[in-house]
Amino acid sequence: MQQQVQDQAQQLSERDQALAQRDALLQRKDREIALREAKIEKIQFELARLKRWTYGAKSEAMNADQRRLFEETLAEDEAALRAQLERLRREAEAAAAAAGTKPKAPPRKPRRNPLPAHLRRVEHRHDPEHTDCQEQGCGRPMQRIGEDVTERLDVVPAEFFVHRHIYGKWACRHCQTLKQAPSVPEIVEGGIAASGLLAHTAISRFVDHLPYYRQESINARSGVHTPRSTLASATGQVGAALEPLYELHKRFILDCRVVHADETPVALLDPGAGKTRRAYMWAYARSWHDLAPGVIYEFCRGRGAQYPVAFLGGDNNLGERRWSGTLLTDRYGAYDTVVDPRLYPGRISAACAAHARRNFEELTKDGTSPIGLDALRRFARIYEVEGELKGLSDDERRAHRQRLARPLWHEMRQWLELERRMVADGSATAKAIDYTLVHWAALTRHLEDGAVALDNNHLERQIKPWAMGRRTWQFVGSELAGQRAAIIMSLVQSARMNGHDPWAYLRDVLQRLPTLPNSCLAELLPHLWTSAQA
């Protein structure tokens, strides 16, 4: 009996030792896994930082040699980090296999979209040299049972071609008369550029942001000499020809009772001072929820309230009425005059929720602001509700906002007022809370009107092309050039918003403009346009 007790005690001791050893092994494995994951996280952080450096580098501050060295160093660093990351992942898989556990699945590779169906296909058929069975003693003909198809995208550089217009001369020998077809009218009379080249030049300049000297060198690779002065002159005539259509487009934009407004700086060349000065491109768009989208730009020398006041004020001489409705802005002070109820009783102010949210987002940059994090969570719930209301009518959207979003806004206001009492004046947190509470009526305007958007992001997306262009063309040469750019960009960007190819739209418009009566000009507006070929 005593021997049995001793044996059981020894077994229990051995089992405890085995359990202790296994626990120690598991702890060591956990430490190794945690260390490996920390290394992977660090490498991923370094890769993300390299990407920010790559796309955020101010190359203008470097000379060519410095920029080349910078890019080469970044390429080397990225390759080294990716190699380390791949090695750590292999080690993790091997460790998981040795431990008998399922390894963590690697990130999925992005699925490649099929190539567009409208592209021309050039087929290359590949079959074995011999289609008879090569097995010993057989030699019978084989049957085709199927095929595998792979597709590769290729490109042929832009093709220049010439429209050759031949006008036959017809004479009557008896009456001594001569008859000939009238010449085809063009935007640039007596020039060499047809509507397709004019559209291509304008799109390259204002959509792809290619300066004329670059277009000149690109065209030269196809053996075509197009001096930059010729390209610039032709584009100037295009802008002048499109001005009546631009004015008609302006009326269409201001026919909407809910309008987005914003502005962005552009550099204007000041030849007298030998430098540039700051000018502004003002933008106005129909409501994000409107079924017929559109945007219009106006180039102005400044940022004062007089510019939007004049743009929205109408012109009695031209039969334009003063605009009335809801103006959605980022709360820049100049708009206070534009929507002043004492001066313009028919106008209502709405504010952008994204700007209020960004103030709290700034508080979370260092991760130490619980108020900022809580505010972002509350805004996320509001945006989640708004995301479910796409495709509804204005009345349906308003009803759902009243039922779902209004309680969230009411709860946020109570929370902000409570937090404000405990925050010191002058702090960043106080500034973020005060901005939201001061503009509360404008921020919640969308709850009363289903046609008003929650934020101004819709128009900010339409301003991005100007920000991209600034990096390429750097400045506007004159006020006239700025307004010409605004005319072309207004029509082209609106065409894109309506799902049209910008080149196809502009080419068709320039081809039809010289012969189209003024009474039919509205047919060329982006939201009404259909190609003549269609």
The pLDDT of residue 60: 44
pLDDT of residue 59: 45
User: Which two tokens mark 35?
Assistant: 């260390």
- 293-324 pLDDT, tens digit per residue, is 999 999 998 989 999 999 998 777 666 788 99
pLDDT digits (tens, 9 = 90+) for 319-348: 678 899 999 998 888 899 999 989 998 899
pLDDT tens for 377-391 read 999 999 999 998 888
CA 526 vs CA 251, 284, 533: distances in Å: 13, 15, 16
Contact (Cβ atoms closer than 8 angstroms) between residue 261 and residue 459: yes
Q: Which of 114-123, 191-200, 286-295 has the lowest mean pLDDT?
A: 114-123
Output the CA torsion 367→370→375→376 (10° steps).
30
Q: Which helix (H) or strand (E) holds 473?
A: helix 457-473
Q: Are 170 and 179 in contact (CB under 8 A)?
A: yes
For 67-101, the pLDDT digits (tens) are 555 555 666 666 666 777 777 777 777 776 666 65
What's the average model confidence in pLDDT over 96-119?
67
What's the pLDDT band for 54 if we cut at 50, 70, 90? low
Task: Give residue-wise pLDDT tens across range 467-514.
Answer: 777 766 666 777 888 888 899 999 999 999 999 999 999 999 999 999
